[in-house]
Structure 1
Amino acid sequence: MIKGLYEAHLPVKNLDKSIAFYEKLGLKMAWRDEDTAFFWLEEGKSWLGLWEGNEYQTPYHPSLRHIAFRVSYEDLKESLKWLDSIGVEGVPFGGRESIEPFVRPHQGNASVYFNDPDGNSLELMCYVEVPDKLKHIKEKLSFEDWEKLVGIEV
């Protein structure tokens, strides 16, 4: 199921300063928002997420205890069955109540979350091809809703 690393994260104090540093290293920016920036490690395969903020302000900073593994779209669709078969429970992400995999059209990826025995956040993640007309969608979509939207036979 796991094909490689999708993303790793680091906390940073000053996002602009860190962006300049990683650009000097030759990394290409994938995307940025207000307090995060993602650089390609292997374009189209894996990236490094930089998260601005004081990691000591909260007991959990997402950049300190989270990695994502790259999987295929088809494997992600079956991920909860696979996790269940090895005795691992999926967990909701953010404010979601569902543990079901979901698609982020504006980022072009899809995910499902679970924890390791120490409570570290782990994620199975894949890329999704997003038609230009759907790249504005910021909400997280179920696979069923996503596939209806893009016309994939379910």
Structure 2
Amino acid sequence: MIKGLYEAHLPVRSLDISIPFYEKLGLTMAWRDADTAFFWIEKGISWIGLWEGEEHKTPYHPSLRHIAFRTSYEEMKQSLHWLASIGVNAVPFGRRSTVEPFVRPNQGNASVYFDDPDGNSLELMCFVDVPEALRHITDKLSIQEWETLLESSAQK
């Protein structure tokens, strides 16, 4: 029945500030009215709605005001450079002190985080092929640590 994500929504203080930010990410506007703008994530498949209003003051929590955009593993390795090239700063995730992308072997994914102008948490995320022998690892590993681990496990 469920085929994928159709839409997600975020609160913003000003569409005039948020629209250029989301365009900078490469998203294409689907439509806009006085207090709402929708951007295609994948044209004709999924979009994100930005809603201007006081709701942008809602405190951040991972279950609120967060969206993860899918990317590839190869693009993830270049994500800090790409974000910097469009003037966006990555932010640490949780208790991490570094902003670099990291791999979650037990979940089979990798992430890097950044915020929009209203403090909504945005994430680039990709699937990662994890050998069964490494699926037990719950640590968050940098891309370099992950690739070193993969090389050493392949040599065994």
3-state SS of the aligned residue for 2:133?
helix
Task: Indicate the residue corresponding to 2:70 in structure 1.
Answer: 70
Q: Between Structure 1 and Structure 2, which shows a larger proportion of helix residues?
A: 2
The 5-angstrom pairing of residues 65-144 of structure 1 reads: 65-144=65-144
Larger-Rg structure: 2
Contact 2:60 2:120 in 1 (8 A): no
Query: Number of aligned pairs?
Result: 100
5+ residue gaps, structure 2, are: 10-57
Distance 2:96 2:61 in 1: 18
Consecutive unaligned residues of structure 1, counting only runs of 5 or more, are 10-57
Residue identity opposite 1:63 in structure 2:
S
C-alpha distance after superposition, 1:51-108 (max 9, x if no partner): xxxxxxx932211110000001010100000000000000000000000000000000
Q: Tell me how far apart the structure 2 counterparts of residues 60 and 71 of structure 1 sit (CA, whole Å).
A: 24
TM-score by length of 1: 0.60
Residue-by-residue CA offset, 1:124-144 (whole Å, 9 max, x unaligned):
000000111110100000111
Amino acid at match of 2:107: Q
Between the aligned partners of 2:60 and 2:111, the Cα distance in structure 1 is 20
Structure 2 Cα separation of the partners of residues 61 and 123 of structure 1: 14
1:95 and 1:86 map into 2 onto residues whose CA distance is 26
The two structures, once aligned, show a CA RMSD in angstroms of 2.4
Secondary structure in 1 aligned to 2:96?
A: coil
In 1, the alpha carbon distance for the partners of 2:121 and 2:89 equals 12
What is the letter of the counterpart of residue 73 of structure 2?
Y
Percent identity, aligned pairs only, is 72
> Runs ≥4 in structure 1, deviation > 4 angstroms?
none
Q: Any idea what SS the aligned residue of 1:80 has?
A: helix
